[in-house]
Amino acid sequence: MKVFKVILIIIAVLAAVIVLGSFLLPEKSKVERSNMVGVRDSVAYKYIGDFSKFNEWSPWYEMEPTAKTEFSGEIGQVGAKYSWKGKELGEGSFMTVAVNPYNAIYQKLTFLSPWEAIADN
């Protein structure tokens, strides 16, 4: 019976640490990733900004090549949008919200299903 009490106390302490620790975490987080590519910045920028080429390098496309995808807007410009809908991938889109030519493309990522979420800069 004493072992059972000790186990319950350990579980209660761990649960309390997790719950109380969650209040110390930041409300928002930011994730960035970078990679060096052996091509000129102008070539890479045009390629990444062109949503018609997205499926050539997208890991999502590899997961479900039969997903319905579409893109709209002017290539590499604010307002350009890529959308997808699939059985495994769910439904969502990302849209270019700002550009810094040959340096950065900022996008807003919206998931509609299987859950709703928005990720932006």
**What tokens does 70 get?**
């579409």
Q: Give this prediction's pTM.
A: 0.64
DSSP state letters, 37-55: -SS-HHHHHHHHH-GGGGG
User: In whole numbers, what is the pLDDT of the chain averaged over residues?
Assistant: 88
pLDDT digits (tens, 9 = 90+) for 16-59: 998 888 888 888 878 888 877 788 888 888 888 888 888 888 88
Q: Report how far residue 55's alpha carbon sits from residue 51's, in angstroms, rounded to the nearest whole number.
A: 8
Under DSSP, the state recorded for 33 is -
**What tokens does 34 get?**
């970078």
Q: Report how far residue 44's alpha carbon sits from residue 54's, in angstroms, rounded to the nearest whole number.
A: 12
